[in-house]
Amino acid sequence: MLNVAQITCSLDEGKLMRSLGANRRSKSISVSMKRRILNWRLKLPELLSPKLDHCTVDIAVASNGRIMLNNGTLFYSPKLARTVQAADALCCFVATIGSQLEVEVQRCMANNHYADAFILDTLGSMSVEALVDRFHTARERQFKSQGQGVTLRFSPGYCDWHLTDQIPLFSLFKKAVPAGVRLTETCLMSPQKSISGVFGILPRDIGQSVANYNPCKSCGQPRCRARRT
């Protein structure tokens, strides 16, 4: 799960190119830009220090737009509550690729190398997403082998889940600084290339239709960058 080579090799080339300006009609990324991208992809492994901490907490109730855990922790999000209403526990996680890439982006900006900073920042975002995707997929396989299932993952600050719920989420971890990630006063994370979130763990034989529930399908914002089809 924390193998740097596996994370970098799993980055989707098409998604990377679209994020950097290509489109379906004309994949018009210049030769010089492609060289920059290749250069940073080769350097990327040495800039990643992936870490992920997770914990599992039983759910007391998930309804009426809120999730109450057995330890009294409350999260407020109608879409998250609907997603995990059939789950009996939440898997909570905090993941990061560390601060080295962030420092390199800042160095590029300070030297007016804006194209390099843009490429590297995009690669960083995709890398931490790949890290969390690998974790989610691994847990899905684990629970599936036991006759259970998992829901889609959610993160504070996305959809209708308010960013301030970062505070109760981080409080669930035994470590004061899970995965080496700290919360700022505005509930953002440091290092910046970090992701926190949860997904539900479903009991045995509950059915794939519940596990596959996706609130994005009924959302009225089709241009949302976090939309999952």
Q: What digits encode the pLDDT tens for the residues 147-194?
A: 899 999 999 998 899 999 999 999 999 999 999 999 999 999 999 999
**Containing H/E element for 98?**
none
What confidence score (pLDDT) does residue 222 get? Answer: 64
Q: Which residues of the chain have pLDDT under 50?
A: none
Q: First and final CA of the chain: distance in angstroms?
A: 24
Instruction: Sheet with 194-202: list strands edge to edge.
Output: 74-76, 66-69, 51-63, 89-96, 194-202, 149-154
What confidence score (pLDDT) does residue 8 get? Answer: 86
Q: Tell me the pTM.
A: 0.89
What confidence score (pLDDT) does residue 2 get? Answer: 62
Q: What is the pLDDT of residues 94-103, one digit of tens each?
A: 999 999 999 9
Average pLDDT along the chain: 89
Residues in the chain, overall count:
229
DSSP helix/strand/coil, 139: helix
Which one is the CATH code of 4-21+29-210: 3.40.190.10, 3.40.50.300, 3.40.109.40, 1.10.3720.10?
A: 3.40.109.40
Which residue type does 154 have? F
CA 84, 150, 183, 119 dihedral sign is negative
What confidence score (pLDDT) does residue 228 get? Answer: 63
